[in-house]
């Protein structure tokens, strides 16, 4: 999935987003989880002047403290507000009394329950009423993303989902960040290669998979939070039936 020429993948993504910008109507959202990919997607979306763009992050209340500073850096750099979507207070209280601080590591069910309360439900609430949502996901990031497409229908949220960086490699992302002087999450310099909640993310060693530090105690096939369905069957829809706007 790696692109031979970084400029090619940028132009492909830009052309795709210009086409989307010309035909989509109504509010659209970009999920930003402080990954380098999300910052690249945000930069291109701003450059193609996508209208009614709302940028948000899922602030699970379990993020690394460094991300508070990076959040402000991103807002200042792009001159935007990034909305923080928090879990429901009562549901979070129930979750914490059931699991304690690290109960999400006890079983797959416990972990998915935590992700549902802290991520999936706030995401569903935020996406309600939107025309589409953008992500910075790449197909080569993990086995759970290998068959993703640039445009999909997200059955879970009943919404068009657009993945403009689908065929970018990690090198493409890093090159774009450098060439455009974009802000970088300080956790990358500490050895993280994919950033999630603090209890569920560790640094990775040389040669390890980029997402090996996410939910590292689980099988790679399960390493998604529930916001992203994990295979084509679950998200399959004939793209010719998708209507924009």
Comparing CB distances to ligand SF4, the nearer of 82 and 104 is 104
Name the minimum Å distance from CB 59 to ligand SF4: 10
Comparing CB distances to ligand SF4, the nearer of 111 and 138 is 111
Cα dist from 42 to 7, 35, 118, 154, 173, whole Å? 17, 11, 23, 20, 12
Distance CA(136)–CA(43), nearest Å, equals: 11
Comparing CB distances to ligand SF4, the nearer of 196 and 213 is 196
- For ligand SF4, which residue of 64, 70, 85, 118 counts as binding (CB under 6 A)? 118
Name the minimum Å distance from CB 148 to ligand SF4: 20
Residues taking part in catalysis: 225
Sign of CA dihedral 191, 177, 226, 27: positive
Distance CA(60)–CA(66), nearest Å, equals: 14
Name the minimum Å distance from CB 116 to ligand SF4: 8
60 contacts ligand SF4 (rule: CB under 6 A): yes
Structure letter (DSSP) for residue 26 = S
Q: 101 exposed, middle or buried (CB, 10 Å; 0-12, 13-18, 19+)?
A: exposed
Comparing CB distances to ligand SF4, the nearer of 103 and 183 is 103
Name the minimum Å distance from CB 99 to ligand SF4: 9
**Sites for ligand SF4 among residues 174-233 (CB under 6 A):** 196-197, 199-200, 225
Distance CA(92)–CA(98), nearest Å, equals: 10
Tell me the residue number closest to ligand SF4, measured at CB: 197
Candidates 79, 65, 96; CA nearest to 183 is 79
Cα torsion 37, 119, 95, 111 to 10°: value is -60
| Pair 40, 164: CB distance under 8 Å | no
- For ligand SF4, which residue of 31, 115, 123, 204 counts as binding (CB under 6 A)? 115
Q: How many residues bind ligand SF4, per CB under 6 A?
A: 13
Residues at the interface with ligand SF4 (CB under 6 A): 60, 62, 104, 111, 114-115, 118-119, 196-197, 199-200, 225
């Amino acid at each position: 999935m790696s692109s031979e020429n970084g400029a090619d993948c940028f132009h492909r993504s830009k052309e795709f987003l210009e086409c989307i910008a010309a035909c989509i109507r109504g509010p659209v959202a970009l999920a930003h989880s402080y990954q380098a990919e999300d910052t690249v997607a945000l930069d291109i979306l701003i450059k193609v002047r996508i209208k009614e763009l709302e940028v948000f992050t899922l602030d699970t209340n379990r993020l690394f403290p460094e991300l508070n500073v990076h959040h402000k850096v991103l807002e200042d750099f792009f001159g935007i507000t990034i909305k923080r979507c928090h879990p429901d207070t009562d549901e979070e209280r129930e979750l914490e009394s059931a699991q304690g601080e690290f109960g999400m590591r006890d079983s797959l069910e416990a972990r998915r329950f935590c992700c549902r309360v802290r991520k999936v439900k706030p995401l569903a609430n935020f996406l309600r009423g939107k025309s589409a949502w953008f992500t910075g996901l790449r197909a080569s990031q993990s086995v759970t993303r290998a068959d993703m497409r640039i445009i999909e229908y997200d059955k879970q949220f009943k919404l068009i989902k657009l993945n403009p960086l689908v065929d970018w490699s990690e090198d493409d992302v890093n090159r774009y960040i450098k060439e455009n002087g974009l802000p970088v999450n300080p956790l990358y310099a500490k050895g993280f290669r994919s950033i999630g909640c603090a209890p569920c993310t560790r640094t990775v060693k040389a040669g390890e998979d980029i997402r090996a530090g996410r939910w590292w105690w689980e099988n790679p096939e399960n390493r998604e939070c529930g916001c992203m369905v994990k295979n084509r069957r679950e998200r399959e829809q004939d793209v010719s039936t998708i209507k924009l706007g």
